[in-house]
Chains A and B, each alone.
Chain A
Amino acid sequence: MGRGAASSSSSSFESSSYPSVSGESSFPQRKRDLSTDLRLGLSISTSQQDNPSTPSEQLMDWPPSKPVPRKALDSEENEYCSSTLFVKVYMEGIQIGRKLNLLAHDGYHDLIQTLDQMFNTNILWPEMDVENSAHCHVLTYEDKEGDWLIVGDVPWEMFLPSVRRLKITRADSL
């Protein structure tokens, strides 16, 4: 039986639901180590690993191209090397924030899911149906120029290099 049998993969980069190749546990796998998250007791990474339908995370040995050595980008907050991009996330009204690895996510949907779980809320964003906006939150981010913007307007890959930090604000406070 084939590995990662061809499911209908959407070619839209937004949904990025490429067939998983990490689902079968009987297969020898080499997974990225997400143990930093696990040690903090967060539930983020386990949900990704257990669910075979979530797209697999970045493999360290694929694609077969040696990385281009390039100077690290100069931001202290963002560790933009090829495998992690941790940003701070604050929820309005809560002083202590969290940190999140954006590169461990495949797109906005994935990010929203994680944040919903992390902060136990529902985050609205442009494409979602608004069911009950009163108790919802909206996700915003601060870009490199210091401006605060709604998350989701630009393609994911354009978002990644420009985001400095995230903030979840109440929908009705905008």
Chain B
Amino acid sequence: MITNKKPRSSDTDSNYMRDDRTEMSEDDDRSPPSDSIANGSCPTRTCTPGSGSGSGSGSSSIPEYSAPYPDRVLENVLENVLWFLTSRKDRNAASLVCRSWYRVEAMTRSDLFIGNCYAVSPERATSRFTRVRSVTLKGKPRFADFNLMPPNWGAHFAPWVSATAKAYPWLEKIHLKRMSVTDDDLALLAESFSGFKELVLVCCDGFGTSGLAAVASKCRQLKVLDLIESEVSDDEVDWIMCFPDTETCLESLIFDCVECLVDFDALERLVVRSPSLKKLRLNRFVSIGQLYRLMVRAPQLTHLGTGSFSPSEDVAQGELELDYVSAFAACKSLVCLSGFREIVPDCLPAIYPICANLTSLNFSYANISAEQLKPIISNCHKLQTFWVLDSICDEGLQAVATTCKELRELRVFPFDPREDIEGPVSEVGLQAISEGCRKLQSILYFCQRMTNAAVIAMSKNCPDLVVFRLCIMGRQRPDHVTGEPMDEGFGAIVMNCKKLTRLAVSGLLTDTAFAYIGKYGKIVRTLSVAFAGDSDMGLKYVLEGCPRLQKLEIRDSPFGDTALLSGLHHYYNMRFLWMSACRLSHQGCQQIAQALPHLVVEVIKHEDTVHTDDYADTLYMYRSLAGRRHDVPKFVSIL
């Protein structure tokens, strides 16, 4: 049994792709079981028959017989045991133990997660893992969502779908985030995987309703079709009509981001013949009257996303008189409500019957006031997740704080994301939330003004915070009461919130803020920085102080080559580093590329920037076993 485990020193989130495991397996190829016992090195959970007196249980009379190949037996056992190992981290660690464990782990991994589609080639991944049932791929970095990346940068699904089509014909689930997916890709997917069950596309683009039609018509076992924040072009194909006429296996159908009309009658019939449907999120082309009809057909729903929460333009006869309250009341299992696009607030009282059961409520498309919110939120005692627009103002947040004692996640989005306006939410709302919602774990808060005091209060009142993302929309705005930088507030967060792994900072920040992060943010994995810092020291503090840092995205901050070079020891442990509009020179980036051969260093040019040869517009770099990619667009140079 293997006794020598060599954990990677600073990297518990060890990437399964680390190539240096070869050196490890030479060192500690298994010692025969008897040796390990003689050494008494560590408790051997040995299961091979050849081990004789295992853990001193007294059964020493079992004669040692030569099992066919101890390896084979061991592997069989491992295989059976490792099937139960589901956590990616555990599997990665297990695969590093020795060659045998590596092999068995590779055979038993059924969920393949690839955090950066360019970190490994599809061929390499599919040849290592042979029995995969589910593939998760992430492509572009997050800043691409905010126009910081030119279009057609990459992250194409095509090579992955063709590799997996060959390697895993039994594939059941594909989950993509920020990938470019074409209709051809979807058609190939639909053709290749006969037992396909789940397709989840988050922030993807490049496909249209014809691709959806292919999936709907060919994937007869489809349980989940979730399209979340993706751009879907209207190919004038009614994909809802393409689902087979028979009963479907559908459990989840989410298409609120699809900006195309669907035939409502076809949708209604689909819902009727989908008895397992639990999650349904409609797009804004479904009116409230149509929603009523669907709810009546599907009272078993647990997750509902309304379409446009207002009567249709030409109000169908009697639509306004429908008994929405009863329809909602009949959905006794509803725990998650969202949608409410184009809301007519008068329609809101319809949801009163189910408020008490709700654990998740998404009002982030609903421009409602505090007064309109209060009657609803005052009943939402079980609410754990709440997304809302800042139109509810500090007063609305105070109402949330009064009632929602179980709140775990809060997101407050700006209705009007400009910089110079007064802004309806402020430190007052944040303070109220921190006092009322002590179990808060995750917060995303957009505001125009903030104070250190409120942030410090949150750091003390909400010790369970794992995610703290504060976006003060005015760039480099200080504490609006004291005029001080926001250093102390963010410092308190990293100091007091011991579970914090994700942080986004904003407002006026000096290097001091980064010193705090480097000193206290020992388990921070994701850090997002914009318009902050004074000098290279800021970035240095972070790169030198945060050993768990995986994803670092920085824009418009004065960090230069010296700072970049200070992270050389760490870049192989990271998924990526993004730095745009900073002070990086091409030479500096080149130095990194030369020092770290397994790092892909991309310099991305933006068309509409004032070009200087001195500075690199955008640096995006990531570790990779695949080397430079072959689909590099013209505006990217790989150093």
Q: Which residues of A pack against B, CB within 8 Å?
A: 1-6, 8-9, 11, 13, 16, 18-19, 21, 25-31, 33, 55, 58, 60-71, 82, 106-107, 155-157
Name B389's closest neighbour in chain A (CB-CB).
A68
The verdict on A61 contacting B148 (CB below 8 Å), with A2-B558, A19-B476 known, is yes
The verdict on A70 contacting B610 (CB below 8 Å), with A62-B146, A64-B471 known, is no
Q: Are B612 and A26 interface neighbours, CB within 8 A?
A: yes
Report Cα–Cα, A36/B421, bound state, in Å. 25
Given contacts A30-B606, A67-B417, A68-B365, 7 further A-B contacts (CB under 8 A): A28-B610, A28-B612, A30-B608, A66-B145, A69-B284, A69-B365, A156-B421
Can you pick out 6 interface pairs between chain A and chain B where the beta carbons lie within 8 Å of each other? A3-B583, A6-B485, A13-B422, A18-B474, A29-B609, A68-B389
* Partner among B478, B608, B615 whose Cβ is within 8 Å of the Cβ of A26: B615
The verdict on A64 contacting B530 (CB below 8 Å), with A26-B614, A28-B612, A29-B610 known, is yes
* B-chain residues with CB within 8 Å of residue A31 when the two chains form the complex: 608
Indicate the member of B419, B478, B610 with the most A CB atoms within 10 Å: B419
Name A55's closest neighbour in chain B (CB-CB).
B420
* A-chain residues with CB within 8 Å of residue B478 when the two chains form the complex: 6, 9
Indicate the member of A13, A67, A68, A157 with the most B CB atoms within 10 Å: A68
Q: Are A30 and B609 interface neighbours, CB within 8 A?
A: yes
Q: Which residues of B pack against A, CB within 8 Å?
A: 143, 145-148, 229, 284, 341-342, 364-365, 367, 389, 413-415, 417-422, 446, 449, 471, 473-478, 480, 483, 485, 508, 510, 530-531, 533-535, 556-558, 581, 583, 606, 608-612, 614-615, 617
Q: Are B420 and A13 interface neighbours, CB within 8 A?
A: yes
The verdict on A11 contacting B476 (CB below 8 Å), with A3-B557, A28-B615, A58-B418 known, is no
* A-chain residues with CB within 8 Å of residue B508 when the two chains form the complex: 6, 9
Report Cα–Cα, A19/B485, bound state, in Å. 14
Report Cα–Cα, A55/B480, bound state, in Å. 18
Name B310's closest neighbour in chain A (CB-CB).
A71
Interface of B is mostly: loop
Name A161's closest neighbour in chain B (CB-CB).
B416
Name the distance in Å between A160's Cβ and chain B's nearest Cβ. 9
* Partner among B446, B606, B608 whose Cβ is within 8 Å of the Cβ of A63: B446
Q: Are B476 and A4 interface neighbours, CB within 8 A?
A: yes
Name the distance in Å between A61's Cβ and chain B's nearest Cβ. 4
Q: Are B471 and A21 interface neighbours, CB within 8 A?
A: no
Q: Are B535 and A2 interface neighbours, CB within 8 A?
A: yes
Name A110's closest neighbour in chain B (CB-CB).
B420
The verdict on A18 contacting B581 (CB below 8 Å), with A58-B419, A64-B145 known, is no
Name the distance in Å between A148's Cβ and chain B's nearest Cβ. 25
Name the distance in Å between A57's Cβ and chain B's nearest Cβ. 10
Q: Are A106 and B449 interface neighbours, CB within 8 A?
A: no
The verdict on A27 contacting B615 (CB below 8 Å), with A1-B558, A65-B414 known, is yes
Name the distance in Å between B396's Cβ and chain A's nearest Cβ. 16
Name B448's closest neighbour in chain A (CB-CB).
A13
Closest 3 CB pairs of A and B: A61-B147, A2-B534, A28-B609
Name the distance in Å between A58's Cβ and chain B's nearest Cβ. 6
Q: Are B146 and A61 interface neighbours, CB within 8 A?
A: yes
* A-chain residues with CB within 8 Å of residue B420 when the two chains form the complex: 13, 16, 18, 55, 106-107, 156
* Partner among A4, A11, A157 whose Cβ is within 8 Å of the Cβ of B531: A4
The verdict on A65 contacting B475 (CB below 8 Å), with A6-B485, A70-B367 known, is no
Report Cα–Cα, A18/B581, bound state, in Å. 19
Q: Are B417 and A65 interface neighbours, CB within 8 A?
A: yes
Indicate the member of B475, B583, B608 with the most A CB atoms within 10 Å: B475
Name the distance in Å between B602's Cβ and chain A's nearest Cβ. 15
Report Cα–Cα, A142/B508, bound state, in Å. 39
* B-chain residues with CB within 8 Å of residue A155 when the two chains form the complex: 422
Report Cα–Cα, A72/B510, bound state, in Å. 40
Q: Are B471 and A63 interface neighbours, CB within 8 A?
A: yes
Q: Are A13 and B421 interface neighbours, CB within 8 A?
A: yes
* A-chain residues with CB within 8 Å of residue B480 when the two chains form the complex: 11
